[in-house]
Structure 1
Amino acid sequence: MTTAIAMPPAMPRPHPVPIAAARPKPKRPPMSGKENLIQVKPVSVGVVNNIRTRRERPCDACRRRKSRCVIHEGAVLCVLCEFHKQECTFVQSPVPRKRKPTGDGNKEEVSKKRSVTSVSPPLAVQATSITPPASSPPKSPTTPRHFETLGETIGLQRSQHCRYIGPTTPYDSRIIGLAQFDKRNESSFNLGTLRRVTNNECFLMLSDDTTREYGDEVEALRAVEQIVAPHGPALLDLYFRVVHPSFPVIQKQLYIERHRSGDQQLSPSLLAGIYILALNWWLSDPRLAPLPKPDVRKLEALASKWLASSMQRPKLSTVQAGLLLLQRPDADSWSLTTQLVAIGQELGLHLDCSNWSIPPWERGLRKRLAWALYMQDKWSSLIHGRPSHIFSANWAVKPNSEEDYEDERLTNSPIENSSKEDKAEEERGQTHFAQMIALTRIMAEVMDTFYTQVAISDFEVAGKNSTRLILERAKPVQIKLKDWFAKLPASCKMDSYNGGRLSPNGSLHLAYFATEITLHRRIVQSLNQETADPYLMYICRSAAKTRLISAMDFVNRLKPEHLQSFWYFASKINFTLIGTFGSLLWATAPAKEEADFYKTRLREYRWTLSVSSKRAEFLDYAVQMLDASRGMLSNLAEKPLLAQLQVSNAGVPAERTTAPLPLPHDHMGGDAGSEMGRYNFAPTFSGFPTEALDQYGMDQELDEDSSDSSLMEE
Structure 2
Amino acid sequence: MSGQSPSQTQQGTGSKDKHHDAPPRPKILSNTLGLDLKTHAEYIGPTDYRDPFLLDLHRQNVDMNQDVPAPTPIATFPRRLNHRTVFLVHPDESAASETRRIADLDAIEATVHPLGRTLVDLYFRIVHPSFPILHKDVFISKHRLSHRHFAPSLLAAVYLIALDWQLYDSALAGREVESIPDPAALEELAERTMTQDMRRPKLSTLEAGLLLLQRNRRIVETGIHTHPTSSRMFTAQLVAMAQDLGIHIDCSSWSIPAWEIGLRRRLAWALYMQDRWGACVHGRPFLIQDSDWDVQPCSSSDYPELITMDDGSPDNSNSVISTGWDLFLRHIELTHILSDVIRTFYSAAATRTGGTIDQMGVVAAVELAKPLVFRLREWQACLPQQLQLQSTKLRELCANGALHLAHASIEIALHRALVRIMTPDTPGSLYDVLRSTARAKLQGAIELLGSLRPEHTAAFWASQAAYQAAEVGSLAGLLWVTADSFDEMAWCASRVDELRWALRVRGAAAPFAREALRLLERDIGGLGMVKSTSDVIS
| Pair in the same fold by TM > 0.5 | yes
Cα deviation for residue 594 of structure 1 reads: 0.7
Distance 1:462 1:299 in 2: 48
Is residue 394 from structure 1 mapped to residue 279 from structure 2 by the alignment? no
Is residue 480 from structure 1 mapped to residue 378 from structure 2 by the alignment? no
The residue matched to 2:47 in structure 1 has which SS?
coil
Distance 2:119 2:74 in 1: 45
Is residue 615 from structure 1 mapped to residue 494 from structure 2 by the alignment? no
Cα deviation for residue 633 of structure 1 reads: 4.8
Q: 1:276 aligns with which of 160, 172, 184?
A: 160
Whether the aligned pair in 2 keeps the contact of 1:218 and 1:265 (CA below 8 Å) is no
The residue matched to 1:215 in structure 2 has which SS?
helix
Is residue 359 from structure 1 mapped to residue 257 from structure 2 by the alignment? yes
Is residue 301 from structure 1 mapped to residue 188 from structure 2 by the alignment? yes
Distance 2:389 2:529 in 1: 39
Whether the aligned pair in 1 keeps the contact of 2:466 and 2:516 (CA below 8 Å) is yes
Structure 2 CA distance for partners of 1:75 and 1:242, relative to 1, 3 Å: farther
Distance 2:106 2:80 in 1: 35
Is residue 372 from structure 1 mapped to residue 266 from structure 2 by the alignment? no
Distance 1:548 1:287 in 2: 42
Equivalent position of 1:324 in the other structure: 211
Equivalent position of 2:37 in the other structure: 158
Structure 2 CA distance for partners of 1:313 and 1:527, relative to 1, 3 Å: same
Using the size of structure 1 for normalisation, the TM-score is 0.66
The 5 Å alignment of 1:500-579 reads 500-528=395-423, 530-579=424-473
Cα deviation for residue 320 of structure 1 reads: 0.3
Is residue 429 from structure 1 mapped to residue 324 from structure 2 by the alignment? yes
Equivalent position of 2:340 in the other structure: 445
Please list the CA deviations of residues 635-659 of structure 1 after superposition, one character each: whole Å capped at 9, or x if unmatched. 57999xxxxxxxxxxxxxxxxxxxx
Equivalent position of 1:347 in the other structure: 245
Is residue 76 from structure 1 mapped to residue 18 from structure 2 by the alignment? no
The residue matched to 1:511 in structure 2 has which SS?
helix
Equivalent position of 1:471 in the other structure: 366
Cα deviation for residue 286 of structure 1 reads: 2.2
Number of positions where the alignment pairs a residue of Structure 1 with one of Structure 2: 503
Distance 1:381 1:164 in 2: 26
Q: 2:103 aligns with which of 202, 219, 231?
A: 219
Structure 2 CA distance for partners of 1:79 and 1:178, relative to 1, 3 Å: closer
Whether the aligned pair in 1 keeps the contact of 2:153 and 2:189 (CA below 8 Å) is yes
Q: 1:257 aligns with which of 141, 153, 162?
A: 141
The residue matched to 1:216 in structure 2 has which SS?
helix
Structure 2 CA distance for partners of 1:263 and 1:558, relative to 1, 3 Å: closer
Cα deviation for residue 172 of structure 1 reads: 2.3
Unaligned runs of 5+ in 1: 1-73, 85-115, 120-146, 411-419, 640-678, 683-714
In structure 2, give the amino acid aligned to 1:487.
C
Equivalent position of 1:592 in the other structure: 486
Whether the aligned pair in 2 keeps the contact of 1:251 and 1:408 (CA below 8 Å) is no
Cα deviation for residue 579 of structure 1 reads: 1.1
Distance 1:310 1:83 in 2: 18
Structure 2 CA distance for partners of 1:212 and 1:613, relative to 1, 3 Å: same
Using the size of structure 2 for normalisation, the TM-score is 0.87
Cα deviation for residue 409 of structure 1 reads: 5.1
The residue matched to 2:148 in structure 1 has which SS?
coil
Please list the CA deviations of residues 599-629 of structure 1 after superposition, one character each: whole Å capped at 9, or x if unmatched. 1121121111100112113312222233347
Distance 2:149 2:81 in 1: 24
Cα deviation for residue 634 of structure 1 reads: 5.5
Distance 2:18 2:134 in 1: 23
The 5 Å alignment of 1:223-262 reads 223-262=107-146
Whether the aligned pair in 1 keeps the contact of 2:111 and 2:182 (CA below 8 Å) is yes
Distance 2:258 2:528 in 1: 59
Is residue 498 from structure 1 mapped to residue 393 from structure 2 by the alignment? yes
Cα deviation for residue 222 of structure 1 reads: 0.8
Structure 2 CA distance for partners of 1:460 and 1:172, relative to 1, 3 Å: closer
In structure 2, give the amino acid aligned to 1:370.
A
Q: Computing the radius of gyration over CA atoms, which structure comes out larger, 1 or 2?
A: 1
Whether the aligned pair in 2 keeps the contact of 1:464 and 1:532 (CA below 8 Å) is no
Bigger mean CA offset, 552-561 vs 455-464: 455-464
Is residue 172 from structure 1 mapped to residue 51 from structure 2 by the alignment? yes
Distance 1:75 1:167 in 2: 47
Moved over 3 A (4+): 78-84, 176-191, 407-410, 420-423, 458-465, 628-631, 633-639, 679-682
Cα deviation for residue 573 of structure 1 reads: 0.5
The residue matched to 2:391 in structure 1 has which SS?
coil
Whether the aligned pair in 1 keeps the contact of 2:351 and 2:357 (CA below 8 Å) is no
Whether the aligned pair in 1 keeps the contact of 2:477 and 2:530 (CA below 8 Å) is no
The residue matched to 1:546 in structure 2 has which SS?
helix
The residue matched to 1:195 in structure 2 has which SS?
strand
Structure 2 CA distance for partners of 1:174 and 1:207, relative to 1, 3 Å: closer
Cα deviation for residue 346 of structure 1 reads: 0.3
Please list the CA deviations of residues 301-360 of structure 1 after superposition, one character each: whole Å capped at 9, or x if unmatched. 000001110111100011000000000013771111000000110000001111110011
The 5 Å alignment of 1:75-94 reads 76-77=15-16
Cα deviation for residue 206 of structure 1 reads: 0.5
Cα deviation for residue 217 of structure 1 reads: 0.8
In structure 2, give the amino acid aligned to 1:512.
H
Whether the aligned pair in 2 keeps the contact of 1:459 and 1:469 (CA below 8 Å) is no
In structure 2, give the amino acid aligned to 1:264.
R
Whether the aligned pair in 1 keeps the contact of 2:95 and 2:199 (CA below 8 Å) is yes
The residue matched to 1:569 in structure 2 has which SS?
coil
Cα deviation for residue 485 of structure 1 reads: 1.2
Distance 1:351 1:398 in 2: 9
Bigger mean CA offset, 275-284 vs 176-185: 176-185
Distance 2:22 2:85 in 1: 39
In structure 2, give the amino acid aligned to 1:347.
L
Higher percent of residues as helix: 2
The 5 Å alignment of 1:71-220 reads 76-77=15-16, 147-177=26-56, 181-184=61-64, 192-220=76-104
Distance 2:124 2:356 in 1: 52
Whether the aligned pair in 2 keeps the contact of 1:520 and 1:544 (CA below 8 Å) is yes
The residue matched to 2:383 in structure 1 has which SS?
coil
Cα deviation for residue 369 of structure 1 reads: 0.6
Structure 2 CA distance for partners of 1:589 and 1:245, relative to 1, 3 Å: same
In structure 2, give the amino acid aligned to 1:580.
S
Unaligned runs of 5+ in 2: 1-12, 220-225, 309-314
Structure 2 CA distance for partners of 1:191 and 1:233, relative to 1, 3 Å: closer
